[in-house]
Amino acid sequence: MRAGIAGAGLIGKLVAWQLTQHGWHVSLFDPDSKARSSAAFAAAGMLSPYAEIHADTKIFSLGLQGIAAWKNLLAQFSDQSWWQQRGSIVTAHTHDQNLMRDFIAQINNKIPYSTYLHLPNKKLTEYEPELTAKQGVFLREEAVIDSRKLLNLLPNANIHQQVISVKPHQIITTHQQYKFDWVFDCRGSGGGENFSDLRSVRGELIYLAAPEVTISRPIHLLHPRYQVYIVPRKHPIYLIGASEIEANDNSPISVRTCLELLSAAYSLHRGFAEARIIETITGLRPALADNLPRIIFNKGMVAINGLYRYGFLLAPIILHTITQALFHQEYSHEADLLKWEAYRDSSVNHIGTIATTA
Ligand SMILES: Cc1cc2nc3c(=O)[nH]c(=O)nc-3n(C[C@H](O)[C@H](O)[C@H](O)COP(=O)(O)OP(=O)(O)OC[C@H]3O[C@@H](n4cnc5c(N)ncnc54)[C@H](O)[C@@H]3O)c2cc1C
């Protein structure tokens, strides 16, 4: 089988990797050979279904499945250094304890059998001794992926052309028209052709080298104005993120975001004062009207978009849903939760029966 994939960001690369493993011949289109303009390259890579409790409850249940599915995929990589599951912490400063109470109330309200651990009265120091905040919640199931390491292990684009159109069986670029058995539209923020309600949500993030800081797991700081997190990579590197701005604008980070993110980081650990800013990055999260992912399945074409803040969290579920349909002609139960659209033409008898030949 011959596949053409438009977009070599997170989903495009993962689909290319899976199809290649199944013996397909894959052409991966992206003008950017190293995926540096993808949201995936900017992403912190946190798998945080609890910390994202404000989102639709589907994100929580699919997110927990996503973490389990990543653990199954791990075995297929000889280098697993991109994966870490040590839980994460949600905390708030003393004057924002109402936010902590609200956060716990939301979890209790939405998730009957949650496994979070409340850390009152300085118990937080047993987990992260260097933080200035002393109370919090430990979310033991949460994990984090070193997004750039993972992207490096997945296939790179092999056709460096801008895709103008993705239609069943065909990809048209600025250079020529290509025919395939199946095509996959994974253009993220560039995929408006097949998703009329697509919008971009700008996210800015800062990389610091901070030798005076030792934090071992992602920290989410509850704040009345913005969401801030600190994600440790290989010591002494830390990511401080991320803004959330409704704008299709990937220009460099703003002064305001720098001030907010860096002062929040400094408020959690004084050692960030002497850190060095080694990189700032802006990415565009591809989002749909309901902020949920959507898969459009047609004979000869699959289009995936709307991963928004949850691309890494949900990617293995998306992958599973697609491969179940392609290789086993099965409509997986996750498809009910994902926004899944199948066009009913002569080759798609009902939503669960999808022809795999052109
Ligand atoms: C700052 C930030 C932090 C994030 N943190 C997290 C996190 O902690 N956890 C999490 O789960 N998610 C996170 N995300 C979200 C996650 O990165 C996205 O949901 C995910 O990358 C979307 O995957 P995608 O493949 O659809 O799009 P992308 O990863 O953006 O890939 C799209 C690709 O398509 C290419 N493309 C676009 N147009 C064309 C065209 N016309 N022709 C050819 N190629 C094209 C682009 O160059 C790009 O390589 C974050 C995002 C940002 C911006």
Residues 82-111 have pLDDT tens digits of 999 999 999 999 999 999 999 999 999 988
The response to whether residue 342 sits with its C-beta less than 6 Å from ligand 1 reads no
Q: What is the pLDDT of residue 188?
A: 98
Instruction: Indicate whether 115 pLDDT > 90.
Output: no
Q: Which two tokens stand for residue 101?
A: 């109470």
Strands 182-185 and 143-145: unpaired
Task: Quote the pTM value.
Answer: 0.93
The mean per-residue pLDDT over the stretch 281-297 comes to 94
pLDDT class of 334 with cuts at 50, 70, 90? low
The response to whether residue 190 sits with its C-beta less than 6 Å from ligand 1 reads yes
Report the separation in Å between the CA atom of 55 and the middle of ligand 1, taken as the mean of its atom positions. 19
Test site for ligand 1: of 312, 319, 338, most ligand atoms within 8 A of the Cβ: 312
The response to whether residue 201 sits with its C-beta less than 6 Å from ligand 1 reads no
Report the separation in Å between the CA atom of 154 and the middle of ligand 1, taken as the mean of its atom positions. 14
Strands 117-119 and 199-209: unpaired
Residue 301: phi and psi, rounded to 5, are: -150, 135
The response to whether residue 59 sits with its C-beta less than 6 Å from ligand 1 reads no
What residue spans of the chain are helical by DSSP H? 10-21, 39-42, 57-74, 97-110, 147-153, 255-268, 311-328, 334-337
Test site for ligand 1: of 27, 37, 38, most ligand atoms within 8 A of the Cβ: 38
